[in-house]
Structure 1
Amino acid sequence: MTEELADMPLDEEFSPEDEASPETVPVPSALVGHLSETAVLLDVDGTLLDFAPTPREVWVPPGLAKTLGRLLERTNGALALVSGRSVNDLDLIFAPDVFPAVGGHGAEMRLDPHGDGDGAHALQLDKELKRRLAAIARLSPGILLEDKGYSLALHYRLAPHAERAIYEAVSLIRADLPDAPIEVLPGKQVCEIKLAGFTKATGVRELMKHPPFKGRKPFFIGDDVTDETVFAIMPELEGLAFSVGRRAKGVAGHFDAPSDVREFLAHLLDDEREIAAP
């Protein structure tokens, strides 16, 4: 962790199967010279938490909540979870701990972990549209339906053979309803359909307008296609992006797995303690 941030090359996009790709990119401590001047923005599934067979089976490894709580304190509240999950779902996963959050791919925002939601609140998906999309889950056993209100997700981790059929069925519905203001988000063994007009990037932009995030230099860690909108806006916020499991285009580096991200976050606290020591 001695490499200077300014000298750190940007990663290029690559295929996960690229055998010549290097191991985890070391993250320089210069990235976070002072946590009091930094905003820590973190995706959850596939970034902080390892994937599980179903979304409800994810679990918070020992020590992670404590690390996040200490980072929240050291940044004076400028740590936020940025997730496709709803804020309520995040609270259930991390209970009894609560954190500032951008939820539902930018549909929700909560600045105060002990307060109500703030900022943007997207409309709910139309009930009839949701009913038609939900029927796609009947295509095969193992397709799991997740209704997030603002979006609907079809998980096929337990039915990978159904991927093509799912996307074809969604395409047919979109063709039948060409004026429906919806977007399709392909993810890691999930097809998510949400209302247009908001993304994780719009949520992060709004978040960074408010104290204690305002005026800080953010860094964001994410793993999925839906996180790429946030990767893209980090330069305009004078921040940096890091990807997990792959080297996404335009990021400053990558981590191999969520366990590496958790270790890095713990080291941030150790590094700052060493700097502060007499």
Structure 2
Amino acid sequence: MDFALFLDFDGTLVDIAPRPDAVVVEPGLIQNLEALRQRLGGALALVSGRPIAQIDGFLTPARFDAAGLHGVERRREGEIVGGRPEDHPDLRRQVERLHADSAPLANVLIEDKGASVAVHWRLANAEDAQRAEALVKEAAGLLSGAYRLQLGKAVGEIVPATATKAVAIRTFLEEAPYAGRRAIFLGDDKTDEIAFASVTEDGGVAVRVGDGETAAARRLPDPAAVRALIAAWAAGEPIDPDALPPA
């Protein structure tokens, strides 16, 4: 059977870092991804909460098909659509407010992605973390349902309500070279659960990386295991996601 492979980035391909700009791409990963993409006839895409430009920066010189900002922007065959900050004036006002209100909070990071915004409190003390979470929840509530709040690992992100990784994957699967293939999606966070459910519903295989309750049927323990799997598949071992450990 022909497969289409969809991969989250943070916590899946690379280990979670204290700051988004501090992740490390392990040697050989880019080459293995390129080899696996070739083996899959091009049907490999990254599906991330990061902007596509950030993913490119970590994986340079490679340029993969990708959905960024949880699907707000998407690139296939080199062309990017969606994700313009100027299309989100209400969100831009809340980004300014988040910067101002979080300024007194030590080690709270506002990650402005243009068409979405993430508030990180991984390095903050308990009191500041609680305040940061309250701020991002308040900002999302003021956006009148046009945006939704996604809570992850010490992060809250506000994204357009219509953008999900599930929609992004389904859109890829409507187009060559993904069409007609069985989807495999690997992700690690609460924000990936909607896509786990949709991929499973469509007959694909969802793989949760790390612990936690999940809608995925399969599980890998950590990003190191993901990288080892990609290396094995790139080297020609059988691609059999149903043989992975159960979740």
Band of TM-score, shorter chain: 0.7 to 0.9
Partner residue, 2:109: 144
Query: What's the CA shift for 1:40?
Result: 0.7
Indicate how the Cα distance of structure 1 residues 187 and 125 shifts in structure 2: closer, same or farther if over 3 A, else same: farther
Query: What's the CA shift for 1:171?
Result: 3.5
Indicate how the Cα distance of structure 1 residues 156 and 178 shifts in structure 2: closer, same or farther if over 3 A, else same: closer
Residue 79 of structure 2, aligned match among 102, 116, 122: 116
Q: Which amino acid aligns with 1:269?
A: A
Pairing of 1:186-197 with structure 2 (within 5 A): 186-197=151-162
TM-score (normalised: structure 1) = 0.79
Q: Which amino acid aligns with 1:167?
A: E
Pairing of 1:248-263 with structure 2 (within 5 A): 248-263=213-228
Q: Which runs of 5+ in 1 are unaligned?
A: 1-33
Are 2:83 and 2:115, in contact at CA under 8 Å, matched by a contact in 1? no
Query: What's the CA shift for 1:160?
Result: 4.5
Query: What's the CA shift for 1:251?
Result: 1.5
Indicate how the Cα distance of structure 1 residues 70 and 156 shifts in structure 2: closer, same or farther if over 3 A, else same: same
| Whole-Å separation in 1 of the counterparts to 2:119 and 2:32 | 32
Partner residue, 2:4: 39
| Whole-Å separation in 1 of the counterparts to 2:184 and 2:158 | 27
Residue 210 of structure 1, aligned match among 152, 155, 175: 175
Partner residue, 2:57: 92
SS in 1 for 2:79: coil
Query: What's the CA shift for 1:235?
Result: 2.5
SS in 2 for 1:234: helix
SS in 2 for 1:186: strand
Identity in percent: 37
Q: Which runs of 5+ in 2 are unaligned?
A: 240-247
| Whole-Å separation in 2 of the counterparts to 1:193 and 1:64 | 30
Indicate how the Cα distance of structure 1 residues 209 and 101 shifts in structure 2: closer, same or farther if over 3 A, else same: same
| Whole-Å separation in 2 of the counterparts to 1:259 and 1:151 | 29
Indicate how the Cα distance of structure 1 residues 128 and 250 shifts in structure 2: closer, same or farther if over 3 A, else same: closer
Q: Which amino acid aligns with 2:80?
A: G
| Whole-Å separation in 1 of the counterparts to 2:47 and 2:140 | 27
Describe the superposition over 1:9-67 as per-residue Cα deviations: whole angstroms up to 9, x where unpaired: xxxxxxxxxxxxxxxxxxxxxxxxx5xx1101100000000111211111210010011
RMSD: 2.0
Partner residue, 1:105: 70
Indicate how the Cα distance of structure 1 residues 223 and 140 shifts in structure 2: closer, same or farther if over 3 A, else same: same
| Whole-Å separation in 2 of the counterparts to 1:178 and 1:109 | 23
SS in 1 for 2:133: helix
- Name which one, 1 or 2, has greater alpha-carbon Rg: 1
Partner residue, 1:52: 17
| Whole-Å separation in 2 of the counterparts to 1:107 and 1:73 | 26
| Whole-Å separation in 2 of the counterparts to 1:147 and 1:217 | 34
Pairing of 1:214-225 with structure 2 (within 5 A): 214-225=179-190
Query: What's the CA shift for 1:271?
Result: 4.5
Indicate how the Cα distance of structure 1 residues 200 and 272 shifts in structure 2: closer, same or farther if over 3 A, else same: same
Indicate how the Cα distance of structure 1 residues 167 and 135 shifts in structure 2: closer, same or farther if over 3 A, else same: same
Describe the superposition over 1:244-277 as per-residue Cα deviations: whole angstroms up to 9, x where unpaired: 1115433222111100010011122344489xxx
Aligned length: 235
Runs of 4 or more, structure 1, over 2 Å off, are 120-127, 133-137, 169-175, 177-180, 247-250, 269-274
Are 1:125 and 1:150, in contact at CA under 8 Å, matched by a contact in 2? no
Indicate how the Cα distance of structure 1 residues 158 and 109 shifts in structure 2: closer, same or farther if over 3 A, else same: same
Query: What's the CA shift for 1:106?
Result: 0.7
Indicate how the Cα distance of structure 1 residues 157 and 211 shifts in structure 2: closer, same or farther if over 3 A, else same: same
| Whole-Å separation in 1 of the counterparts to 2:99 and 2:145 | 16
Residue 169 of structure 1, aligned match among 135, 145, 152: 135
